[in-house]
Amino acid sequence: MKRIGIIGSGNVGANSAFFMAENGTATVTLVDIREGLSEGKALDLLEAGPIRRYDTGIRGSADITAIRGSDIVVLAAGRVRSPGEGREALYRDNAPLVGELCGEIRALAPGAVVINVVEPVDMLTLLAGRVLGFDRGRVLGVGGLLSSTRLRHLVSRALGVSPREVTGMVIGPHRPGMVVLEDTVRVSGVPVAQLLEPEALCAIVEETRRAGDTILELSERSTAYYAPSAAVAALARAVIRDARTILPVSMRLDGEYGLRDIALSVPARIGAGGAESVIEVALGGREEKEFRDAAGDLRRSLERAGAGAGPGE
Amino acid sequence: MPGKKVSIIGAGNVGATAAYYIAEKVMADIVMVDVAEGVTRAKAIDFLHAGPMRGYDVSIEGTGDYAAVADSDLVVVTAGVARKPGMDRMDLLRVNAGIVKSASKMIARYAPNATVIVVSNPLDVMCHVVYRTTGFAVQRVIGMAGILDSTRFRYFVAERLGCAFTDVHAMVLGGHGDQMVPMPRYTTVAGIPVSRFLDADELERLVDRTRKGGAEIVAHLKTGSAYYAPAASVAEMAEAILTDRRTLVPCAVCLRGEYGIENLFIGVPVILGKNGVERIVEVELEPQELQLLRRSSEAVRKGVEELETFFTVR
Nearest CA in chain A to B248: A188
User: Do A3-141 and A144-304 show the same overall fold?
Assistant: no
pLDDT band at A312 (very low <50, low <70, confident <90, very high): very low
Q: What is the mean pLDDT of residues B267-278?
A: 96
Yes or no, beta carbons of A165 and B271 under 8 Å apart: no
A245 and B166: CB-CB below 8 Å?
yes
B19 falls in which pLDDT band (50, 70, 90)?
Answer: very high
C-beta atoms of B162 and A244 within 8 A: yes
SS (H, E, C) chain B: CCCCEEEEECCCHHHHHHHHHHHHHHCCEEEEECCCHHHHHHHHHHHHHHHHHHCCCCCEEEECCHHHHCCCCEEEECCCCCCCCCCCHHHHHHHHHHHHHHHHHHHHHHCCCCEEEECCCCHHHHHHHHHHHHCCCHHHEEECCHHHHHHHHHHHHHHHHCCCHHHEECCEEECCHHHEEECHHHCEECCEEHHHCCCHHHHHHHHHHHHCHHHHHHHHHCCCCCCHHHHHHHHHHHHHHHCCCCEEEEEEEEEECHHHCEEEEEEEEEEEECCEEEEECCCCCCHHHHHHHHHHHHHHHHHHHHHHHHHHHC
Interface of A with B in 76-105 (CB under 8 A): none
| Domain spans in chain B, listed from the N-terminal domain onward | 5-143, 146-305
Instruction: Rounding to the nearest 10 degrees, give the CA dihedral for residues B165, B118, B279, B254.
Output: 130
* % of chain B at pLDDT higher than 90: 70
Stretch A184-210: mean pLDDT? 96
Average pLDDT of chain A is 94
Contact A194 B284 (CB under 8 A): yes
User: Is A230 within 8 Å of chain B by CB?
Assistant: no
Which CATH fold topology does B5-143 show?
Rossmann fold (3.40.50)
Nearest Cα of chain B lies from the Cα of A87 at a distance, in angstroms, of 30
CB contact under 8 A, A167 and B164: no
Choosing from B49, B128, B169, B176, the catalytic residue is B176
Interface contact B170, partner A, CB < 8 A: yes
pLDDT of residue B314: 46
Q: Nearest Cβ partner of B248 from A187, A245, A281? A: A187
Asked if B169 is an interface residue toward chain A (Cβ–Cβ < 8 A), one would say yes
Contact residues on chain A for B187, CB-CB shorter than 8 A: 189
> Nearest-CA distance from B80 to chain A in Å?
31
pLDDT in tens, B163-222: 998 999 999 898 876 778 888 889 999 999 999 999 999 999 999 999 999 889 988 888
CATH topology for B146-305 is: L-2-Hydroxyisocaproate Dehydrogenase; Chain A, domain 2 (3.90.110)
pLDDT tens string B214-244: 889 988 888 888 899 999 999 999 999 999 9
Closest by CA to B143, choosing from B241, B266, B275, is: B266
Nearest CA in chain B to A191: B186
Distance from CA of B16 to the nearest CA of A (A): 26
- Which residues 154-193 of A are in CB contact (within 8 Å) with B? 160-162, 164-165, 167-169, 181, 183-191
Measured between beta carbons, the chain B residues lying within 8 angstroms of A164 are 245, 247
Q: What pLDDT shows up at residue A310?
A: 43
pLDDT at res. A14? 95
Domain edges within chain A: 3-141, 144-304
Nearest CA in chain B to A242: B164
Put simply, whether B179 touches A (Cβ < 8 Å) is no
Q: Which CATH architecture has domain A3-141?
A: 3-Layer(aba) Sandwich (3.40)
How much is the pLDDT for B2?
A: 54
Q: CA nearest A52 in B: which residue?
A: B55
The catalytic site residues of A sit at: 174
Cα-based torsion angle of the residue sequence B203, A255, A241, A121 in order, rounded to the nearest 10 degrees: -130
CATH class given for the domain over A144-304: alpha beta
Q: What is the largest CA-CA distance in chain B?
A: 55
Substitution target in B248, B271, B274, B289 with the highest count of A β-carbons within 10 Å is B248
